[in-house]
A and B are shown apart, each in its own frame.
Chain A
């Protein structure tokens, strides 16, 4: 069973990455912070009795679910807004799944830092933008594999898909990211 100190150390080690991942997904810093806080609380409250070694996988799964919950709530909210705004003329129907539109929308928080004069910061910001533009499943698989250092089996377990699907997502993400960065003049 993880002690309070172990849990605290674990959360301190993952909170920044968790925030960034949530931010790439929802494109909103405040919402991302709320998601991370929800995930932390759920982990501490419901899975605090698990061994410290199990925390990374559990937290990744909880964070993923918290992000999906955010999109579900957003969808419900947008449905109600659509219903109420249907009376006013000139409004287009925006009842769409946010997960389907993530690829097209540009990442605004990172764009601000891309305006910096420091070249490295610009490159980092562009990379963040392009990571955020990846389709959800591809981004999740790519970040779990290469940022969270999870192996294919662990990633598959968290994503609830086959190991083959994880490899496919990662491969597509890599190609899409490389192509997008090259188009923006960045060669890694």
Chain B
């Protein structure tokens, strides 16, 4: 007889022994099982973030209520983001033309001036300008 056949012979005997447990033992095992099951947590009905789309097809009122709140939770940050963008745009809108026209006027004045651009980089020209302003 090889190891496997021997093992299955022993298995039969052990199954027989396990099947003949006394009532006290089986009762305690049942109690142990019941106690263990009270500690088992059932899987949640659905994750909080997902039912925004899933709940659309649900028929139970609880499911759709969960879906409604879930959808609200998902939509709120997006709405806040859009509102933020609009606020920034509105805030910048009145300032933008003024700033653009100031820059354009400055550029125009520099371009229309007959003084060569290199003169602005010269230290002596700066001193001269300051002297002229003081004289005035």
- Min C-beta distance of A183 to chain B, whole Å: 15
* Count of chain B residues with a beta carbon within 8 Å of a chain A beta carbon: 32
Shortest beta-carbon distance, A106 to chain B, in Å? Answer: 16
Chain B residues lying within 8 Å of A125, measured Cβ to Cβ, are 17
In the complex the two chains form, is B36's CB within 8 Å of A37's CB? yes
Closest to B43 in A: A1
Is B136 engaged at the interface, CB distance under 8 Å to the other chain?
no
Q: Whole-angstrom distance from the CB of A52 to the nearest CB of chain B? A: 12
Asked whether, in the complex, the Cβ of A45 is within 8 Å of the Cβ of B6, the reply is no
Number of A residues with CB within 8 Å of any CB on chain B: 43
Interface string of A47-83 (1 = CB under 8 A from B): 0110000000000000000000000000000000000
Residues of A whose CB lies within 8 Å of any CB of B are 1, 3-4, 7-8, 11-12, 15-17, 19-20, 29, 33, 36-37, 40-41, 43-45, 48-49, 110, 120-121, 123-125, 127-128, 131, 142-143, 145-147, 170-171, 174, 177-178, 188
Q: Which residues of B contact A (CB under 8 A)?
A: 1, 3-4, 6-11, 13-21, 25-26, 28-29, 32-33, 35-37, 39-43
Known: A15-B32, A45-B39, A177-B10; 18 extra A-B contacts, CB below 8 A, are A11-B37, A12-B33, A16-B19, A17-B18, A19-B18, A33-B28, A40-B33, A40-B35, A41-B39, A44-B36, A48-B39, A124-B14, A124-B16, A124-B17, A145-B7, A147-B14, A171-B3, A177-B6
What are 17 contact pairs spanning A and B, CB under 8 A? A4-B37, A11-B36, A12-B33, A15-B29, A16-B29, A19-B21, A37-B35, A40-B33, A110-B17, A124-B16, A127-B10, A128-B13, A131-B10, A143-B14, A146-B4, A147-B10, A177-B6
Closest 10 CB pairs of A and B: A146-B7, A40-B36, A37-B32, A16-B18, A44-B36, A44-B40, A48-B40, A45-B39, A127-B13, A188-B9
